[in-house]
Structure 1
Amino acid sequence: MSLFSEEQGGSVHGGTPPSTQADASLCVPELREGRGAFRLFVEGDALFDAMIAAIENARRDIRMESYIFAADEVGARFVAALAAKARAGLDVRLHLDAFGAGQRSFQNLQRELEGSGVQFRWFRPFGALHPLQYLQRNHRKLLIVDDGDAFLGGFNIRRLNSRRLHGETRQRDTHVRVSGPLAKLAIGHFDRLWHDAHQFPASAIPEDPKNMEALLVPSYSRHCQHRLACLHAGLIAKAQAHVYLTSPYFGPGIMIDQALQTAAMRGVDVRLLVPRRGDPLVAGWATKAAYALLLTAGVRIYEYLPRQLHAKTSVIDATWSIVGSANLDYLSLFVNQELVLLARDQTLTEQLQAQYMDDIAEAEEITLSIWHRRGWRARGLEAIGWTARQLL
């Protein structure tokens, strides 16, 4: 019996996603209820302090990967901590995305890392022989220390996430710390990309998670090439009370779009929090291109106002929570390497729901009447966004 009934969806290299909500709901695993097993971070300074402390307390090995790893004060702090542990004889591995982190300004930090004994790799640098591989990026953010603690979520390594360094306009994001069995499972996910392997190691995907309260879910698996999309659609289809989604980029495709509309029409409180301003701008236009059908179905849409929104979270009823690197858009769900925590933990769900209410208190709700009154310029930009969605 596989973890999910995903044989419906084909393999990583072929097949199609479940075509109905009933099929998608088969992708929701059976987990036991937990409480209080995770630590949530919504401020970069607190997260970075905790990550550095974990690195400094490491005794055997450290594995880290990030999409963006800036050559700034935050990046230099992490490089110094990693280099010190490598010089002390620990097995330290750093895997960075060649597009997100591969800037010329990083070269000095790279030399420091490699000179201290840190094992360093770029994920898919551009190669003339396989140029299309460059289109898939490693968008994950993951730190694993001694197979005992792991951190994952949306925070990149950069000063933009620090209130101390960037100020009140710092980026809004979410991360989570896990420990025990989940940290050990994270090693399998890290090692697969480190060795550029296509198949998931069996140890990274438990076949029977009934005795676990959470899982680490990648963007695809051995049995389903659309795993995150199927998981979200399945959870939304099962929702009875509410669905609270936060995504900086939104364009998830037909399966999730239809699940959201159907849930709202049957009376579920479905809410979507997105940024007021997209980064880049065309991403915001693409997000707005999805508004009309969602609003008509009864989905409530909020645009976050005070600062840049980068968190990727989902709260479904009082039961399910998702925190990770994946946006609800085409690139995250169908192209890039992503990793999220799926938890059935009451404490985490309550914390995420409370944070969600704080966030929408600082957002403007876009009602259907407001949307109908938008000007011709906004409609033109929406058309550009709609075209961009179709091209993806």
Structure 2
Amino acid sequence: MESPPTGAQGWEQPDRLNDQHEMRGPMALPTGFQAFRHALYQSTRMRLQPGHRVELVENGRIFDEVVEAIRGATESVHILVFIWRPSEPSDRIVEALCERARAGVACRVVVDPVGSEEVRGEHDFDPKVEQRLREGGVEVHYFRPLSGRWLGRLLGRTHHKLVILDGQVGFTGGFGIWKSWQGEGDSPEEWRDTNVRVEGPAVREMQLAFARTWQECGGALLPESCFPELEHEGEGYAAFVESTGGHGLSDAERMLRMVFAAARRRLWIANAYFTPPKAILEQLLEKRKQGVDVRVLAAGPVHDWRIVRASQRATYQEMLKGGVRLWEYQPSMLHSKTVLVDDWLCTVGSTNLDALSLHRMREGSVVVADQRLASKLEQCWERDLAHAKEMTLAHGGRTNPWRRFARRVTQLLAVDR
């Protein structure tokens, strides 16, 4: 992590007149950690803080780690999740929560009822799971029930995946509480996902994201003890960047644009729904022109949204012609949302590179400056590429009318800024 050079740079001269008035085109950041740290703070109000221990938690191991952490909680357990459906992972977590609640630990749960709907088609959390939680002493709230307010609330969901224990340990990533996140991500029924366990000051920001949502859902103010002063647990720098959607440029997009701009040698993106706005595609192409090794690992033939995969593939032709390398994960649904920059910067969280995540939904990602974590994420990439197919213009990379149509449809959700 080198120091920034003297003389900060700003926006490069735009090629088109309209670009003088919008956040478009490549952004030139000064080199080094301190320059990126200031850029992230200036753009998202979140500053990378020292003293973090951040560990990758891949695939089904998330449930082992979360259950163990819940059983060790002494004061509070807070869960905010987009998908919670009846399953073996649900049973394990419900049992652990009820055991802690009976022991006097305050257990609070917020569930998005749209994400947690079942095949029966009801936009509701499963009543049996809810009943077990409530009878066990767990307080449960829904995030923005749809009843009577469909039009205004359907897209404004919380896509967070947060578990916070005693205000000191936090988990986030792409996981949901359902059977799809079991296993090792190597079969169609078991999704490939990446999560993190966080200790350090950023856990306070994760707790704050939960608290704000808890209030909106009718929960009481959390006691001050839920926000303890946190010891510096490790050598990494980290920040939790929350985004609430709405009009204009979201914090999710601001965060990603700054992370991408920091790349000097390597920019590797793994994302479940790779359908970013044109401005981000232009930024990736510009980074490649600058000599950065730009790679994208996207979801492949096992996909939960056919139109999204078609929209994703509509970006391939331009990316490939610009020198970006693209892979599709083959064995299962790739659900990870990670970025690896050079050998020191990473992001892991719930933020997809699509219009919903960037402009409509509540999201959260941890930005980490830690060479040790970057090395581990690089090892994940190496394993995933062994199960991925590289796209070329001759094989899967060219666009067609269906893909162009899908791209237009998915971009309708973007905010016109």
- Give TM-score scaled by structure 1 length: 0.84
Alignment CA distance shift 1:23-1:254 (3 Å)? farther
Residue matched to 2:33:
none
CA distance in 2, matches of 1:316, 1:190: 28
Q: Which amino acid aligns with 2:273?
A: Y
Residue matched to 1:267:
291
User: In structure 2, which of residues 49, 67, 77 is the aligned counterpart of residue 52 of structure 1?
Assistant: 67
Deviation of 1:221 after TM superposition, in Å, equals: 9.0
User: In structure 2, which of residues 374, 388, 395 is the aligned counterpart of residue 349 of structure 1?
Assistant: 374
User: In structure 2, which of residues 59, 64, 84 is the aligned counterpart of residue 43 of structure 1?
Assistant: 59
Residue matched to 1:208:
none
Alignment CA distance shift 1:284-1:18 (3 Å)? same
Matches within 5 A, 1:97-246: 97-103=112-118, 106-129=126-149, 131-163=151-183, 169-196=189-216, 213-220=237-244, 225-246=249-270
CA distance in 1, matches of 2:377, 2:156: 30
Q: Which amino acid aligns with 1:255?
A: A
2:409 is the alignment partner of 1:385:
no
User: In structure 2, which of residues 347, 363, 379 is the aligned counterpart of residue 338 of structure 1?
Assistant: 363
CA distance in 1, matches of 2:256, 2:339: 9
Q: Which amino acid aligns with 1:84?
A: E
Question: Does the 8 Å contact 2:146/2:154 carry over to 1?
Answer: yes
- Over the aligned positions, Cα root-mean-square deviation in angstroms equals 3.0
Question: Does the 8 Å contact 1:275/1:304 carry over to 2?
Answer: yes
Residue matched to 2:310:
285
User: In structure 2, which of residues 106, 113, 116 is the aligned counterpart of residue 91 of structure 1?
Assistant: 106
Q: Which amino acid aligns with 1:28?
A: L
Secondary structure class of the residue paired with 1:213: strand
Question: Does the 8 Å contact 2:244/2:361 carry over to 1?
Answer: no
CA distance in 1, matches of 2:185, 2:266: 37
Q: Which has the higher contact order (CA 8 A, sep 6+)?
A: 1
Question: Does the 8 Å contact 2:173/2:349 carry over to 1?
Answer: yes
Question: Does the 8 Å contact 1:17/1:230 carry over to 2?
Answer: no
Residues 7-55 of structure 1, C-alpha deviations (whole Å, 9 max, x = no match): x9xxxxxxx9734433897742464777x821111131x2211111111
Secondary structure class of the residue paired with 1:252: coil
2:270 is the alignment partner of 1:254:
no
Moved more, 77-86 or 139-148: 77-86
Q: Which amino acid aligns with 2:179?
A: R
Alignment CA distance shift 1:114-1:32 (3 Å)? closer
Which structure 1 residue ranges, 5 or more long, are not aligned? 1-7, 9-15, 205-210
Moved more, 300-309 or 226-235: 226-235
Residues 177-221 of structure 1, C-alpha deviations (whole Å, 9 max, x = no match): 001322222111110111129xxx9x99xxxxxx97100011259
Secondary structure class of the residue paired with 1:47: helix
CA distance in 2, matches of 1:312, 1:266: 24
Name the count of aligned residue pairs: 362
Alignment CA distance shift 1:154-1:266 (3 Å)? same
Secondary structure class of the residue paired with 2:260: helix
Residue matched to 2:27:
22
Alignment CA distance shift 1:166-1:239 (3 Å)? closer
Question: Does the 8 Å contact 1:27/1:231 carry over to 2?
Answer: no
CA distance in 2, matches of 1:360, 1:291: 17
CA distance in 2, matches of 1:221, 1:165: 30
Residue matched to 1:307:
332
Question: Does the 8 Å contact 1:282/1:384 carry over to 2?
Answer: no
Residues 111-130 of structure 1, C-alpha deviations (whole Å, 9 max, x = no match): 11112221101111103246
Structure with the largest fraction of helix? 1
Secondary structure class of the residue paired with 1:383: helix
* Percentage of matched positions with identical amino acids: 30
User: In structure 2, which of residues 299, 307, 322 is the aligned counterpart of residue 297 of structure 1?
Assistant: 322
Secondary structure class of the residue paired with 1:245: strand
Q: Which amino acid aligns with 1:285?
A: A
Question: Does the 8 Å contact 2:345/2:369 carry over to 1?
Answer: yes
Question: Does the 8 Å contact 1:215/1:342 carry over to 2?
Answer: yes
Question: Does the 8 Å contact 2:110/2:141 carry over to 1?
Answer: yes
Secondary structure class of the residue paired with 2:126: helix
Deviation of 1:162 after TM superposition, in Å, equals: 1.4
Residues 340-387 of structure 1, C-alpha deviations (whole Å, 9 max, x = no match): 010001111111111112212211111234356x6xxx7233133122
Residue matched to 1:77:
92
CA distance in 2, matches of 1:216, 1:31: 9
Secondary structure class of the residue paired with 1:163: coil
Q: Which amino acid aligns with 2:348?
A: V
CA distance in 2, matches of 1:287, 1:363: 16
Residue matched to 1:3:
none
Alignment CA distance shift 1:33-1:88 (3 Å)? closer
Residue matched to 2:17:
none
CA distance in 1, matches of 2:246, 2:360: 15
